[in-house]
């Protein structure tokens, strides 16, 4: 019980704090990982690394299943290969972020049967992607869609973890 509450609290507090910090300092930017490039010193850049590890490792522990572990491990790739750099670094960064988010959402359905959360989430992500990347009537409707997709997926996984791991304790 204590482990579940502690790890869930870390995931929630780290995410909310990082969201608050970035939006307060820089506003809505292109993506969560783009914040790494906004920081100027190595110490401030480490905030991005602490955010990723502060979400990934507790998710691996709290989910207590292989898919959750792999989702967290993929996010850890994002920690090791922050945005920018050469083509390999960029590829690993995108692979880690996309795979981590996808496995986190798929876990909700595949492991815990939360199809009612997963299917709408996938639909909303698809809509956000389309509205941010394709011109509809000559206009792109969402700016910084990657930012919104990443935070939406974070919120969906947090809700799923809460329902599966915290709600039964109450």
Q: Could you write out the DSSP letters of every residue in 41-104?
A: SHHHHHHHHHHHHHHHHHHHHHH-SHHHHHHHHHHHHHHHS-SSSSHHHHHHHHHHHHHHHHHH
Q: Report how far residue 40's alpha carbon sits from residue 48's, in angstroms, rounded to the nearest whole number.
A: 12
pTM over 0.85? The answer is: yes
Q: Report how far residue 13's alpha carbon sits from residue 51's, in angstroms, rounded to the nearest whole number.
A: 10
Q: Which residue has the tokens 């691996």?
A: 60
pLDDT of 8 reads: 97
Residues 54 and 10: beta-carbon distance below 8 Å: yes
Residues 160 and 108: beta-carbon distance below 8 Å: yes
Phi first, then psi, for residue 136 (nearest 5°) are -120, 120
Q: Report how far residue 86's alpha carbon sits from residue 68's, in angstroms, rounded to the nearest whole number.
A: 29
Q: Report how far residue 42's alpha carbon sits from residue 133's, in angstroms, rounded to the nearest whole number.
A: 32
pLDDT mean over 128-140: 86
pLDDT of 82 reads: 79
- State which of 14-18, 46-50, 139-143 shows the largest mean pLDDT: 14-18
Q: Tens digit of pLDDT for each residue in 29-51?
A: 999 988 888 888 888 888 998 99
- Is 33 in a helix, a strand, or coil? coil
Q: Is the pLDDT of residue 152 over 80?
A: yes
């Amino acid at each position: 019980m204590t482990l579940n509450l502690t790890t869930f609290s870390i995931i929630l507090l780290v995410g909310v704090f990082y969201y608050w910090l970035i939006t307060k300092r820089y506003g809505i930017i292109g993506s969560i990982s783009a914040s790494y490039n906004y920081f100027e010193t190595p110490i401030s850049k480490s905030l991005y690394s602490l955010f990723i590890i502060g979400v990934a490792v507790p998710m691996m522990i709290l989910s207590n299943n292989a898919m959750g572990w792999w989702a967290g491990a993929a996010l850890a790739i994002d920690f090791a290969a922050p945005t920018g750099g050469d083509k390999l670094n960029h590829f690993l960064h995108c692979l880690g972020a996309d795979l981590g988010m996808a496995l986190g959402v798929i876990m909700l359905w595949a492991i815990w049967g939360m199809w009612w959360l997963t299917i709408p989430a996938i639909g909303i992500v698809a809509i956000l992607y389309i509205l941010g990347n394709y011109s509809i009537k000559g206009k792109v409707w969402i700016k910084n869609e990657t930012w919104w997709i990443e935070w939406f997926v974070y919120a969906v996984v947090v809700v799923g973890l809460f329902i599966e791991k915290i709600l039964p304790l109450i």
